[in-house]
Amino acid sequence: MYLGDSDFEVRAVDTSQPALSSDSGKPSPAPFRGLLGNAARFWEPRRVLYNLILGAVTLFWVVRTWPHFRPALTLATLLPLSVLALIANVCYSAAYFVDLPLEYSSPTASRKRFRWGLWLLGTLLAMVLTSYWILDEIYPDFH
């Protein structure tokens, strides 16, 4: 049986609405995973730079005040320092709570500018908090 060209109909697929799963009628998780993947592609490579910047701030204060910090740098202080680094990375992950709702509502160009602004402001805040913690919380304790 020959089917001519007129027997086939081409339909455009509307991807603006979330796909419904066939078994429950609820939106499938695929669109959310796509948004999460898109956010991770932006935020995770910059996490390395964020950590390098905070490491540089810490190194700056340690080198700048080296004789003062010499007694503070022991093996026993490695665990608290690691916990502080972990807390800094948990705080970095808070950007996802702002970014994911933005994915639903804003155009790509403004979202990119907003993401860079959010990263810059968050990194500056982390630098200030790191400096504060070193100067106010750690520095006065060691003489």
Task: Please give the span between the terminal C-alpha atoms of the chain, in angstroms, as a whole number.
Answer: 93
Which DSSP letter does residue 29 get? S
Q: Is the pLDDT of residue 21 over 50?
A: no
Structure tokens that stand for 107 in this block: 């155009």
Q: Summarize pLDDT for 101-122 with one digit per residue, the tens.
A: 887 777 777 888 899 999 999 9
Which DSSP letter does residue 19 get? P
State the pLDDT at residue 140. Answer: 62
pTM, rounded to two decimals: 0.72
Contacts for 65 with CB less than 8 Å, ≥ 6 apart: 139
> Under DSSP, is residue 20 helix (H, G, I), strand (E, B) or coil?
strand
Around Cβ 50, how many Cβ atoms within 10 Å?
20
